Amino acid sequence: MAFQSQRFASLDELWNKLEQKTDRMIDQMGGKSPHVAKADGVYDDNPTDAWTSGFWPGILWLMYEMTGKERYKEAAWDWDRKLEENFVRPSNFHHDVGFQFLPTAIVKYRLTGDADAKRIGLEAANFLAGRFNLAGRFIRAWNNVKGAWHEGNDGWAIIDCMMNLPLLMWASGELGDPRFKHIAVAHADTALANFVRDDGSTRHICCFDPETGEFLHALGGQGFAPDSAWSRGNAWALYGFSAMYRLSGQQRYLDAAKRVAHFFIASVEDDFVPLWDFRVDNRSGAPRDSSAAAIAASGLIDISKYVPAGQSGLYLQAAERMIASLTDRYATWDTPEHEAILLHGTGHLPRGANIDVSLIYGDYYYVEAVSKLKGWNCHMF
């Protein structure tokens, strides 16, 4: 079965629409660093140290690579430098420099050979490596922000960090220096041992003693409860372990990605998009998270290429169904003035933040997944 949308007769037709949409977004976005668009359809503008600052430029670089059109390159060009300014002023950069610099500096260097982009990417990789806790063999997630819900988090690691590890793997490859890879593999093994449950569901936050490295307890974080299954966290794990398999060749990471994928595929709603958490106590009226479906779909396409041919269809068909559902039921094609591509994402429900909104990372991974269906065979993560 190939990709089948009720809205578009072919993948090429969908792609043309996405190009038109991105052209319009360039005009609408100006210099904004978007994260969330609410009911008014207008993306907000965030400081460039926010974890989401790489995704809009990532869409632009992807469009450039897919089409060769200079307009996308021009719009994307300055973003790695804008983000880099946060290294030389007080900022809240943390482990998510992978999310920020892989779709800006690293892709720019890969596509253009720009030496400054390479320098910036290595700067980010050094910063990420510096967050490694040797006793616990994990990369520390966030910073201590006084009064924030996550204050006192010196020993915290989160599942999202799997997506930042490709920055370290890139640095090792680029420099011929295995230190960065050693940190990435150590963190991935800690995540495999502590975050991925036997049934393929995942925890969001694990708290370790920052001095001894001992595992203390899990927290629900952006999920419903410590023992629940935050769907975007599951998607980060599915994609992140698959990326670590690609970059390290270690079978245990592909096995983990498959286990998480099986749980994800089995747990989505009838329209192949998940609720914001797979294990909420009251499902009725619980919001979905379209971004989790987009991330998972992109990761599933990767897994479908790494498994033997006889297994491939399970992952590819699940991805195609998710992308078709997002395309037919969740996109803004009929309201072109809306600045986002996808509707119905959920940011941080336990804090009451960004529920049933558009999220720039949902848009990014949707574009990425459609590009992969179109034959894009490269990787930002």
Taking the least distance from each CB to ligand GLY, the nearer of 237 and 343 is 237
Q: Which amino acid is it at 154?
A: D
- Are the C-beta atoms of residues 107 and 167 closer than 8 Å to each other? no
Size, binding site for ligand GLY by CB under 6 A? 4
| Alpha-carbon span 73 to 57, nearest angstrom | 9
Instruction: Answer yes or no: 160 catalytic.
Output: yes
- Residue from 49, 160, 289, 302 touching ligand GLY (CB under 6 A): that is 160
Residue number with the shortest CB distance to ligand GLY?
A: 160
Rounded least distance, CB 296 to ligand GLY, Å: 12
Residues 6+ apart with CB under 8 A from 159: 191, 195, 202, 203, 204, 205, 233, 236, 237, 240
Q: Among the options 160, 277, 289, 363, which is catalytic?
A: 160
Min dist. Cβ of residue 373 to ligand GLY (A):
23
Q: Which of 17, 35, 131, 232 binds ligand GLY (CB under 6 A)?
A: 232
At a CB cut-off of 8 Å and minimum separation 6, what does 151 contact? 144, 145
**How many angstroms separate the CA atoms of 159 and 156, rounded?**
10
Indicate the residue among 23 and 356 with the shorter CB distance to ligand GLY. 356
Among 49, 80, 96, 277, the one annotated catalytic: 96
Residue 96 annotated among the catalytic residues of the structure:
yes
Question: Which value, to the nearest 10 degrees, does the dihedral of the CA atoms of residues 138, 142, 148, 152 take?
Answer: 40
In terms of CB distance, is 51 or 195 closer to ligand GLY? 51
Nearer to ligand GLY, 253 or 361 (CB): 361
Q: Which residues within the stretch 41-100 sit at the binding site for ligand GLY (CB under 6 A)?
A: 51
Q: How far is the CB of 52 from ligand GLY (least distance, A)?
A: 8
Tokens representing residue 153 in the block: 């988090």
Q: How far apart are CA 137 and CA 15, in angstroms?
A: 42
The binding site for ligand GLY (CB under 6 A) comprises 51, 160, 222, 232
Please identify every residue annotated as catalytic.
Answer: 96, 160
